[in-house]
Amino acid sequence: MKHYDVIVIGSGGGSKITRPAANLGLKVAIIDKGKLGGTCLNHGCIPSKMLIHSADLMAELEDLDRFNLSLKALPKPSFSKLIERVNGVIDKESASIEPLYHKHPNIDYYKEFATFVGKKTVQVGSKTITGDKIFIATGARPHIPDIKGIENVPYQTYFEALRAKKQPKSLIVVGGGYIATELGYFFGMLGTKVEFVVRSEMLKNEDKEISKAFEASFSKRFIVHKKVKPVSVSYKEGVFRLSCDSPGKKKKILKAEGLLIATGVMSATRDLGLEKAGVKVDERGFIEVDSKLKTSAKGIYAFGDCIGKHLFRHSANFQGEYLFKTYFQKGKKRPIDYPPMPHAVFSNPQIGSVGFTEEALKASKKPYIVGKAFYKNSAMGMALRSEEGFVKLLFDKRSKKLIGAHIIGFDAASLIHMPIAYMNMKASLEDMLKTIYVHPALPEVIRNAARDARGKLA
């Protein structure tokens, strides 16, 4: 039985511990059966955004007539070459990690599944190892809804969709969250006929004003079946048949060449044997941690998607950096202090968001003011001929501090970084108004929203 100072299970967010700990002279084991780099690199954020960029270009070409430009015919996408190019880049990035581990004298890499067989004891293939500190960063896996017959049909999740060898002529997307809207948008803009099956509403966790604007715009491009529940599915002669219950208990049957299940994720901890290590999970399977990311088992920590808090790679990175500073460097072990946690939806229209939604503020009965401004009422917004883009800022009515920001429209994922910075600096409405904004750059619409909020103080 081999003993390590540190065992890291998962090579995505786990990278924030593995090499930094080894660089301190500690003996480290990194365990991951899958491709190195985790979900974000191999099956998530990075390849999806590379593919979606092509969809964005197609969307711009479709809208050329709005800018008094004409195109005789839209270019024909080379789907297989696009998939091959993107995944070639991704695979090269992933493959570049293993040599770094092998070169490091303090790192042992196990390309195996990890299973706890006791407290601080892990089975990896035919070997059993122990560790003083164990960090679990196994991420998440696709959630598969309860649909009769689903286990007998060749559906896809984001894992398969991002490496699809053939483009379907038609596609049913089950789900209305960010994975569904991003990947459905990608396939749709490259020529697939896409239909969305949504049980409630699209992007339901966004600020409601934002999600409604998104749905109104998105529904102009794609067929969206709202308040529809998938009941059963079959697959015959290359065609999926999805039977759904719709309002009024009416049956609806949708047919397509492809079926993408994108109904969220769940913790990837099912086969870890956590109970043998004394690690508790909640009713959803996510690992329970305290304010210092400790699990219920001494010396075992967890972070990233597997704990179910802020399911983003940037939050996993933040948590990993906190763990390294807290447990490998000298100093007082303070609880993790999350700054405003932003996110973005890279569909069309794009969304960027940080802080409170208006619904959360109403529920908390916290007094607030709203500042809102449309892209089209700014100089650059006029140039873009934006129809749906707008910025929504939320301020604490008493302190005038910015406590929430939500943007929908062109480049929203980049624009949101101004409000993120203001919130991190605990900036007030006055701070935002005394900032000089470049004219006629798009961020002027953020200033306009701040001016709108000031007008509501009178």
- Rounded Cα gap, residues 135 and 157, in angstroms: 27
What is the Cα–Cα distance from 309 to 31, expressed in whole angstroms?
Answer: 23
**In this structure, are residues 417 and 432 in contact, taking their beta carbons and an 8 Å threshold?**
no
Query: The tokens of 456 are what?
Result: 């509501």
Instruction: Specify whether the CB–CB gap between 349 and 406 falls below 8 A.
Output: no
Residue 165 per-residue DSSP state:
S
Catalytic residue at 102?
Answer: no
Q: How would you label 358-385 residue by residue, b for 16+ Cβ within 10 Å and e otherwise?
A: beebeeeeeebbbbbbbbbebebbeebe
Distances (CA, A) of 411 to 248, 386, 444: 39, 11, 13
> How far apart are alpha carbons 349 and 326 in whole angstroms?
40
Angstrom distance (rounded) from CA 151 to CA 261: 12
Helix (H), strand (E) counts: the chain = 16, 21
- Options 102, 104, 314, 439, the catalytic residue: 439
Residue 306 DSSP class: G
Report the side by side order of strands in the sheet with 351-355.
343-345, 351-355, 402-408, 390-396, 368-374
d(CA 278, CA 317): 25
| 326 neighbors 334 (Cβ within 8 angstroms) | yes
Strands 351-355 and 343-345: antiparallel
Rounded Cα distance between 381 and 57, Å, is 19
90 touches 96 (CB < 8 A): no
The residues annotated as belonging to the active site are 439
